[in-house]
Amino acid sequence: MSKQKIPASPSIKRLPSYLHIIRQAATEGYEFISGTLIANELNLEPIQVRKDLAITGIVGTPKRGYPVIPLISAIEHFLDWDNNKNVVVIGAGNLATALTGYQEFQYHGLNFVGAFDTNPERIGKQIHGVPIFSIDTLKEQVRNLNATIAILTVPSIYAQESADRVVAAGIKAIWNFTNTKLKLPEDVICQREDLTSGYAMLCVMMNERQPKLVKE
């Protein structure tokens, strides 16, 4: 079986930013939006925006741009955000608390149905309304909750062990917020998130703006 061809990662990563701008345009009553307007908001070239939007299958019209409501639907459908997905979080600490409390996820079809931990003081409680279960009940609860995605927020030393538990529970998609490169079966999808990469860019940009010392 041939592998499915996936569009370039940068294009996919830009689509949520486009969607935010287009949704704002919709709330302000706009019926059409131009690629140039989106590009100006994000300091991009208009041709880049048009190429990115083309992967969703929608086509703009000259002098009018893209119809706002169909464009929102096209992006959401391409990203599969028009289908709800039940998600469990492995590790119920600070990062899990931040993620479950992020309200924007509800607009992307992300539904937190459970968190799992080994700490007896956390088990049986809730974070932002999400129940915390013992990690030992993961397989049973994944089935009961109909979860299809697991988010790893555990310390890195426990990442592989947690991933193994997730795979054994039948989950085929992992969003990995640890620093560990996981060893997974070929049929399991994994997206690794590095929270320091954005901070690194910020630091470099700040450093570039610092006055440079000139040697005499």
Instruction: Mark the ranges of the chain whose per-residue pLDDT is less than 50.
Output: 1-4
The predicted pLDDT at position 71 comes to 97
Structural domain containing residue 21: 9-78
CA distance 150 to 87: 6
CATH number, domain of 40, equals 1.10.10.10
Do residues 93 and 156 both lie within one domain?
Answer: yes
The domain total for the chain is 2
What gap in Å lies between CA 136 and CA 114, rounded to an integer?
13
Q: Report CA-CA distances (Å) from 47 to 22, 24, 25, 189, 207.
A: 17, 21, 20, 31, 30
Contacts by residues 187-194 (CB-CB < 8 Å, ≥ 24 positions apart): none
In a domain, 203, yes or no: no
Give the model's pLDDT for residue 210: 77
Q: Residues 6 or more apart from 117 whose CB is under 8 A from it? A: 91, 92, 93, 123, 132, 133, 134, 135
Q: What is the pLDDT of residue 40?
A: 96
What's the mean pLDDT when you consider all of the chain? 92
* pTM of the complete model: 0.86
CATH number reported for the structural domain that contains residue 95 in this entry: 3.40.50.720
Q: What pLDDT, on a 0 to 100 scale, did the predictor assign at position 110?
A: 94
92 and 192 within one domain: yes
Same domain, yes or no: 65 and 96 = no
